[in-house]
Homo-oligomer: A and B are copies of this chain.
Amino acid sequence: MAESVRFYPLEGLPEIGPGAPLGDLLDQAISDAGFSLQEGDVLVVAQKVVSKAEGRILRLDEVTPSPFACALAQQMGRDPRLVEAVLRNCVRIVRCEPEAFIVETPHGFVCANAGIDRSNVAEEGSVLLLPIDPDASADGIRHKLEEHYGCPLAVIVSDTFGRPWRWGSANLAIGVSGIEPLTDLRGKTDASGRTLTATVLATADEIAAGAELCMGKADRIPAVLVRGATYVRGEGRATTMIMDRAHDLFR
């Protein structure tokens, strides 16, 4: 029987506040759950806990919306302070409609509301911003875990984004460490011997998507251990998954 891929939800992480030593706390939660990490294991960590630990919290009552933000907010029927927060965390507006406010973040992600999240923040009236450098966040966690276990590991920071053409959000990788997020199969042959011409798999996104099956949205499962997944090890960056504007037909 070929090896299976297993996703284990990690419970028992305490509530995370600004400055919390997230790597240590994840390390502890892994031990408490009875796991010992093995070479090739991947830890998927929800963006929310990363942003909380990094203090990426914004109090909306400290945000003064600009006239531009107020005008957009009126057009979309939204809180002008939230629109201002999105504008301060984006480099370009992609769509600005009542249904969705889709922007490009400084990282290059195209997503609704610059990834800003109102749910799952302890303080009422606060929102959570994306980490400034999610790849660096993943690096920090990975190095802590590799220090403990002494073997090559990978970490993915994940977030749940909507997508064009289809209803529903899917989890994907916004930060990676220890993994090449794309698996390039071009030049390899298929089962019939034909050369695969245009096959690059979004492996890190697929690992993140699978992990969400353990996370749930309403549950306190901010991390998932993935064992048995095949991926290319390396010092990949999630930003290499971002399609540049010149190639992107939908931006």
Contacts and interface: CB of A to CB of B under 8 A. Distances in A.
A120 B217 contact: no
Contacts of A3: 9
A192 B122 contact: yes
Interface in A1-47: 1-9, 11, 33-34
A61 interface: no
A59 B130 CA distance: 49
Interface in A103-129: 109-110, 118-122, 124
A209 interface: yes
A46 B251 CA distance: 30
Given A120-B190, A185-B218, A160 B201 contact: yes
A181 B118 CA distance: 25
Interface residues on A, range: 35 or more
A5 B6 contact: yes
Interface stretch (A64-72, A84-92, A132-140, A167-175): A167-175
Nearest to A199: B217
A74 interface: no
A176 interface: no
A206 B200 contact: no
Contacts of A191: 120, 218-220
Contacts of A110: 164-165
Contacts of A209: 170, 205-206, 209-210
B205 A168 contact: yes
Contacts of A195: 119
Nearest to A216: B230
Interface string A186-222: 0011111011110111110111011011101111110
Contacts of A205: 166, 168, 170, 209
Closest 10 CB pairs of A and B: A210-B210, A168-B202, A164-B250, A209-B209, A110-B165, A206-B209, A2-B9, A5-B7, A119-B190, A4-B8
Given A2-B11, A5-B7, 18 more contacts: A100-B249, A102-B249, A118-B197, A119-B194, A119-B195, A119-B196, A163-B163, A164-B248, A165-B242, A165-B248, A167-B200, A168-B241, A170-B205, A185-B218, A191-B220, A205-B209, A206-B209, A209-B210
